[in-house]
Amino acid sequence: MVTGNAPTHTLTLPSDQEIVMIRVFDAPRALVFKAFTDPASIPLWWGPRSTTTIVDQMDVRPGGTWRYLHRGPGGEEYGFRGEYREIVPPERIVYTFEFEPMPGHVVVDTVTLTEQGGRTTMTVTSHFSSREDRDGMIASGMEAGAAESWDRLAELLQTMV
């Protein structure tokens, strides 16, 4: 996604089983971390603007589970779920991600937050079990979906600063 002449994020494919996306936010990392771990914040930024996100479960601790539902404009619902593997406030979150209509295709996401000068660089490394799963995720439009979610997150963070 591009705002003006500057891209808002970068996406690279460092291996056959990885996607790495980077986005910089004009907010301290403690706020970015909070937006990722506060169930009240998730519906305000997670997912496309055309859907409503419902937090069904969110137990932010190693071994805790999460489950979100997207409700589309026609009432259709899609579930996403996973398990938190590592929580290191305010710098790192590791969790699994699975789209419920496609069970068994589990992604391990590592979110790393670094702060410099009040700005936070978020690096999300997604590790897939196969190249086919990685390529399927790319083909699904995930980059545009992530960009839209992160645009929404940037907007939310400006209200939290």
* Band of residue 25 on the pLDDT scale cut at 50, 70, 90: very high
Token pair 């990685």 is found at 134
Six-digit token string for 105: 């295709």
Q: Which residues of 74-101 are buried (b: 16+ CB within 10 A; e: fewer)?
A: eeeeeebbbbbeebeebeebbbbbbbee
Backbone angles phi, psi at 21, to 5 degrees: -120, 140
- Domain limits, the chain: 2-47+88-160
Backbone angles phi, psi at 108, to 5 degrees: -105, 115
Rg of the Cα atoms in the chain: 15
Q: At what angle do helices 131-139 and 142-160 cross, to 10 degrees?
A: 70
pLDDT for 161: 73
Q: Span 61-73, mean pLDDT? A: 97
Does 8 have pLDDT greater than 70?
yes
Give the CATH class of 2-47+88-160: alpha beta
Query: Letter for the amino acid at 111?
Result: V
Note the pLDDT tens digit of each residue in 91-142.
999 999 999 999 999 999 999 999 999 999 999 999 999 999 999 999 999 9
pLDDT for 5: 46
Does 1 have pLDDT greater than 90?
no
Note the pLDDT tens digit of each residue in 77-104.
999 999 999 999 999 999 999 999 999 9
